Structure formats: structure tokens, C-alpha cells
Amino acid sequence: MKKKFKLNLLILILGFVSMVGMAQTPETAKPAEPAKQEDEFAKKKIETKLTEVIPTDSLPAADLSKRAVAWMKVETDKYKKANATTSGNKIECIASFPVKPKELNPEVQYTGKVTMKVVIECKDAKYRYTVSEIKHISKSGNINGGSIDNVVPDCGSMGMNDIVWKRLKAEMLKGAAQVVVDLKAGMALPLVEEKTDDW
């Protein structure tokens, strides 16, 4: 009986030692920090931008800036450019175009305008354009779509249903693409210097 008791005690001690040896230690707080960073990036809102760097034939930044200013001064029937500002080799303006439903009796009366910020940054032999902050503002103020990045328009899904909002977003992107096409064409044109008469 003493042998069985000693044998049972030995098995119990060995079992306890092996469990303690295999026990996991608690994790430190360091792995939790990368998860915190992922959450921070997940919260950051993605913005729709049209941007591209265009190389040119060894033109200085000053000439490219003059071309950008000339493009902003040119008027067009498709859209309007306003609030043009220049700071160094960075030229900005707000482009806007009218938008209205194409149906005779529209389901949603979203008549208004779409605005976007156009930025042209010039360096020697290249320039970069960025079209961002694309928004819809209705004439009445009740059916505002807001930013193109909104999943649901600012007026809510009851004011503008999903199908109409998607159609309006497509029209907004089409207008932004037209601004980009005109900008590239305007920047490709050589600058014509105005000659003043000496009298």
C-alpha cells in the first residue's frame, strides 16, 4: 500500500510539473498596438480624386504655371471656373457645372450643380493635376447629394434612392473627366505672348 501511495504521489507531482511547464505566459501589450493602427486607417475616409503627373518637353515651371493660369481664364459652356488663386507654382480653382434629371417627370428633383476643386502643381518639365472634393448641391437645398464618396446622399435614402444616387454619381464623374480632358488640352497649347505696341 505504501508503494501504491508513493507511485500515485510521484505521478501526481510529475503531472503537476508538466502542466506548469507547459502553461502559456500572458501576452504583452505590444501586439495590440498594430491592431490600433489598423483601426486608425480603417476610420480614415477614402476620397475620390482624379490625379496624374504629366511630363512635358523641358518646359520650365514658370511657363507651365502661365499655361495653367491661361487655362483657368478660358471660359467654356460646359462648366464654369471660379475663385482662381495662384501661390508659387500651385494654381487652384473651383469648377462647377449644372446638373438636372433627364426624365420629364423625375422621381427625384435634384436640379442643382456639381462643384470640384482643381489644383495644378507645376515643376520643371512636368505638372500634376488633382481634381478632388467633388460635391452635389441642389438648387432647392433639400435634395443635396453631398460628396461623391458618400454611400448614402446627404439628404438620406428617403430623399434620393440608391439608383438615382448612383446615376448622379456617374454624371459627376463624367463632368470631372471632362474637366481633366480640357485641362490636358489647355496645358498642351503653347502660350501666346501678347505684344504691346510701343508708341
Closest CA to 124 of 71, 62, 68, 66: 62
Q: What is the mean pLDDT of residues 114-124?
A: 94
Task: Encode pLDDT of 15-70 as tens digits.
Answer: 776 776 666 555 554 555 555 555 555 566 678 889 999 998 888 888 999 999 99
Closest CA to 64 of 119, 121, 118: 121
CATH code given to domain 48-188? 3.30.530.80
Name which residue leads in pLDDT, 101 or 29: 101
Helix and strand counts by DSSP (H, E) for the chain: 4, 6
**pLDDT given for residue 13 in this prediction:** 79
What's the 3-state SS for 70-81? HHHHCCCCCCEE
User: Model confidence at 95, in pLDDT bands (50, 70, 90)?
Assistant: very high
133 φ/ψ sector (left φ>0, alpha ψ -120 to 50, else beta):
left
pTM of the predicted structure, to 2 decimals: 0.71
Euclidean distance between CA atoms 151 and 184, whole angstroms? 30
**pLDDT given for residue 48 in this prediction:** 85
Quick check: 88 pLDDT over 90?
no
Pick from 27-36, 62-71, 103-112, 131-140: least confident = 27-36
> How much of the chain exceeds pLDDT 70, in percent?
80
Q: Where are the alpha helices (DSSP H) in 23-161?
A: 32-43, 61-73
Euclidean distance between CA atoms 138 and 153, whole angstroms? 12
Q: Where are the domains of the chain?
A: 48-188
Q: What is the mean pLDDT of residues 107-131?
A: 92
Quick check: 119 pLDDT over 90?
yes
140-165 b/e with 16+ CB inside 10 Å = b? Answer: eeebbbebbeeeebbbeeebbeeebb
Q: What is the mean pLDDT of residues 160-185?
A: 92
Euclidean distance between CA atoms 154 and 130, whole angstroms? 24
Euclidean distance between CA atoms 177 and 175, whole angstroms? 5
Euclidean distance between CA atoms 93 and 182, whole angstroms? 14
What's the 3-state SS for 146-163? EECCCCCCCCCCCCCCHH
Q: What is the mean pLDDT of residues 81-94?
A: 91
Q: What is the mean pLDDT of residues 120-143?
A: 91
DSSP secondary structure code for residue 105 in this structure = S
Name which residue leads in pLDDT, 196 or 162: 162
Closest CA to 89 of 67, 58, 60, 121: 121
Quick check: 198 pLDDT over 70?
no
Quick check: 165 pLDDT over 70?
yes
